[in-house]
């Protein structure tokens, strides 16, 4: 059974640009959540999608957005990148409220 797949694994972007990250959940999982991990703040929740609907949202500015497609694949977008957006972005998939499985993450560096 394939795990959670995140692409790309690494990204380098310039301040002011925008970026799109992709997450393919485990087959059959309808919930996809996104997290940002930084050395100072640890793991912080960005948003959760369930059956193409955003069900929960963390405390991040509107520059961070996401969506989920009918096949449960999800994308997150960050516009007008700032240096502080440099982080490891992790995606998790689960069946509702049960065990969460994470991808390997996308390492975003903003220069």
Partner 1 sequence: KQEVTQIPAALSVPEGENLVLNCSFTDSAIYNLQWFRQDPGKGLTSLLLIQSSQREQTSGRLNASLDKSSGRSTLYIAASQPGDSATYLCAVTSSGYSTLTFGKGTMLLVSP
Q: Which residues bind partner 1 (CB under 8 A)?
A: 4, 6, 31, 33, 35, 42-43, 45, 48, 50, 55-56, 88, 90, 92, 94, 96-105, 107
User: N- to C-terminal Cα distance for the chain?
Assistant: 37
Complex with partner 1: residue 18 or 95, whichever CB lies closer:
95
- Residue pair 89/1 in contact (Cβ under 8 Å)? The answer is no
Query: If we measure between CA atoms, which residue out of 21, 24, 13, 18 comes closest to residue 76?
Result: 21
CA 88, 100, 89 angle in degrees (round to 5)?
A: 10
Q: How far is the CB of 30 from partner 1 (least distance, A)?
A: 10
Q: How far is the CB of 80 from partner 1 (least distance, A)?
A: 26
Ramachandran assignment for 42, one of left (phi > 0), alpha (psi -120 to 50 degrees), beta (any other): left
Complex with partner 1: residue 41 or 71, whichever CB lies closer:
41
Complex with partner 1: residue 31 or 85, whichever CB lies closer:
31
Complex with partner 1: residue 18 or 38, whichever CB lies closer:
38
């Amino acid at each position: 059974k394939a795990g959670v797949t995140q692409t790309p694994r690494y990204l380098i972007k310039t301040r002011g640009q925008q970026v799109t990250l992709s997450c393919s959940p485990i087959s059959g999982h309808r919930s996809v959540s996104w997290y940002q991990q930084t050395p100072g703040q640890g793991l912080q929740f960005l948003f959760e999608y369930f059956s193409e609907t955003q069900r929960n949202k963390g405390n991040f500015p509107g520059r961070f957005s996401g969506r989920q497609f009918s096949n449960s694949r999800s994308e997150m977008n960050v516009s007008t990148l700032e240096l502080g957006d440099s982080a490891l972005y992790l995606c998790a998939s689960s069946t509702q409220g049960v065990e969460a499985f994470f991808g390997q993450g996308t390492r975003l560096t903003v220069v």
